[in-house]
Amino acid sequence: MADLDRDLRRLITHHGPLSVAEYMAAVLVHPRFGVYTARDPIGADGDFITAPEVSQVFGELVCAWCRVLWRAIGAPDPILVVELGPGRGALMADFLRVSRTDAEFHRALRLWLVEASPTMRASQRRSLRAAEMIAPPSWCDTFAQVPDGPLLLIANEFFDALPVRQFQMTVSGWRERRIDAAANGGEFRFVLSAPSGATALIPARLASAAEGSVIEVSPARITLASQIGERVARFGGAALIVDYGACESGTGDTLRAVRRHAFHPVLEEPGTADISAHVDFAALAQAANEAGARVFGPIAQSAFLERLGAEERARALIANATPEVAAEVENSLRRLVDPQAMGTLFKAVAIVAPGAPPPPGFE
Ligand code: SAH
């Protein structure tokens, strides 16, 4: 990724050291050389794998969840189904295959895919070719472009890819961590900026954090959670956010790069590894709440999937399968629910309208 390397250095030369958020955004969605724009990093032969890529049960259960909520709000036709960052389209392909078992629901679906990368859009288009919808799916760059109306929104491993800023406590207070490049093509490295007004982003309760503490703040994620909360409160429907991170806001540097399923130094050969940071679910919940919506969770992904009937669904698939396929179904379900795999690090949050009852799985 010599091109991205050169572009980042050019930015640093002319604008000064980059915030962690600017670096993350460039690495992931640089218009030409980003991880998601230049190639497809998802899957066994890529950098990382996601729940819907592991098992069809994930997308099928998300569909069942959406269908219950759609009926609960009076089965509006049309209903917007919005997926943020659909990756290769695996979740939505599984969703649309099972939604067909309820003709009324399937007919009402108007699909909006929020996707920055043309490469990933092409991959999504291929996955959804067989979907047979009344209206073809629409793509847009940001959630703000999705039209108004009752909606069911899904975001699996999307928020972790939205950029975070990092601040570090020093003897002179919080200072932003930034990324600089050594002269003559030398290595990228973290530096601390001079104290600035940006530290107003940091919660007051952290004013006495220990020296050396690092905090992550994501204006991009909070803004989006607020926009989602506002839409759901105003038009009805629900949003399901599944991602990895802690329930409580805390301190710590969680920025990680992953290349071919192994950790990779964050600042080394940018663009050759996926990069993400833990989601602060408490911050998302607060933003959606303040925008007028009701929030349930976070709960562990394992609890969410088990309560929706993941085991039963897997048993049904196994009943009609060859021994090899049965073993595969069993293994992939274990990956989604086992605490040592994705079961507890991954969490689910539901955003619904004020006064709405707890959605399935969150009772
Ligand atoms: N939800 C999918 C893929 C997760 S990877 C799955 O579970 O398999 C993140 C996805 O979000 C990719 O499709 C990526 O291209 C997209 N993406 C990342 N940053 C984005 C941004 N800022 N705006 C829009 N899409 C983005």
Please, are residues 236 and 73 in contact by the beta-carbon 8 Å criterion? yes
- Residue 105 near ligand 1, beta carbon < 6 Å: no
- Taking the C-alpha atoms of residue 352 and residue 240, their distance in angstroms, rounded to an integer, is 9
Cβ atoms of 251 and 267 within 8 Å: the answer is no
Task: Give yes or no for residue 155 CB within 6 A of ligand 1.
Answer: no
Would you state the pLDDT for residue 341?
Answer: 85
Per DSSP, the residues of 254-269 read --EEEETTEEE-TTSS
pLDDT tens track for 98-140: 999 999 999 999 999 999 999 999 999 999 998 888 889 999 9
The residue whose CA is least distant from atom 6 of ligand 1 is 87
User: What is the average per-residue pLDDT within 50-62?
Assistant: 96
Residue 58, ligand 1, Cβ within 6 A: no
Kindly report which listed range (146-160, 253-267, 331-345) carries the lowest average pLDDT score: 331-345
Measured by CA distance, the residue closest to atom 16 of ligand 1 is 85
Using CB atoms within 10 Å of the CB of residue 51, give its burial: 0 to 12 exposed, 13 to 18 middle, 19+ buried: buried
Q: Which atom of ligand 1 is nearest to the CA of 37?
A: 15
User: What is the mean predicted confidence (pLDDT) over 254-273?
Assistant: 96
Residue-level pLDDT at 144: 98
CA distance 80 to 149: 7
Q: What is the pLDDT of residue 342?
A: 86
Q: How confident is the model at residue 2 (pLDDT cuts 50, 70, 90)?
A: confident
Best probe residue, ligand 1, of 22, 33, 36 (max atoms within 8 Å of C-beta): 36
Ligand 1 centroid to 157 CA: how many Å?
Answer: 7
- Tell how far the Cα of 156 is from the centroid of ligand 1, in angstroms: 9
Task: Determine if the peptide bond prior to 357 is cis (ω within 30°).
Answer: no
Rounded CA-CA distance 321/295 in Å is: 39
The response to whether residue 158 sits with its C-beta less than 6 Å from ligand 1 reads: yes
Average pLDDT over residues 224-244: 98
294 CB contacts (<8 Å, ≥6 apart)? 351, 352, 353, 354, 355, 356
The pLDDT value given to residue 38: 92
- Which protein residue has the closest C-alpha to ligand 1 atom 10? 85
Angle subtended at Cα 6 by Cα 3 and Cα 12, rounded to the nearest 5 degrees: 140
Q: Write out the two tokens for 90.
A: 């695996």
CA dist 100 and 61 (Å) reads 14
Q: Are strands 237-246 and 279-280 parallel, antiparallel or unpaired?
A: parallel
Distance 159 CA to ligand 1 centre (A): 8
Ligand 1 centroid to Cα of residue 48, in Å, is 12
Could you tell me if 146 and 154 are in contact, meaning their C-beta atoms sit under 8 angstroms apart?
A: no
Is the CB of 50 within 6 Å of ligand 1?
A: yes
pLDDT value at 198 more than 80 = no
Q: Could you give phi then psi for residue 296, rounded to 5 degrees?
A: -115, 145
Cβ–ligand 1 contact at 86 (below 6 Å): yes
Nearest CA to 112 out of 152, 73, 52 is that of: 152
Distance 29 CA to ligand 1 centre (A): 9
Ligand 1 center–CA 85 separation, angstroms: 3
pLDDT of residue 322: 94
Where does residue 285 fall: left (phi above 0), alpha (psi -120 to 50 degrees), or beta otherwise?
alpha
Is residue 350 within 8 Å of residue 244, measured between CB atoms? no
Q: Is the CB of residue 120 below 6 angstroms from any atom belonging to ligand 1?
A: yes
Cα angle 161, 164, 170; round to 5: 150
What is the distance in A from the centroid of ligand 1 to the CA of 86? Answer: 6
Atom of ligand 1 nearest to the CA of 51: 7
pLDDT tens digits for range 267-307: 999 999 999 999 999 999 999 999 999 999 999 999 999 99
Ligand 1 pocket member 266 (CB < 6 A): no
Residue whose C-alpha is closest to residue 249's, from 202, 290, 210, 315: 202
pLDDT of residue 9: 96
> What three-state secondary structure class fits 170?
strand
Q: How many angstroms does the Cα of residue 45 sit away from the middle of ligand 1? A: 17
Distance 227 CA to ligand 1 centre (A): 18
Alpha-carbon distance 348 to 56, whole Å? 18
Closest ligand 1 atom, residue 220 Cα: 22
- Higher-pLDDT residue of 320, 312: 312
pTM: 0.97
Residue 14 pLDDT more than 80?
yes
Would the CB of 38 count as within 6 Å of ligand 1? no
Cα 329 from chain centre: 24
Report the chain's mean pLDDT, rounded to a whole number: 94
Nearest alpha carbon, ligand 1 atom 14: 85
- Cβ-based burial of 273 (10 A; exposed 0-12, middle 13-18, buried ≥19): buried
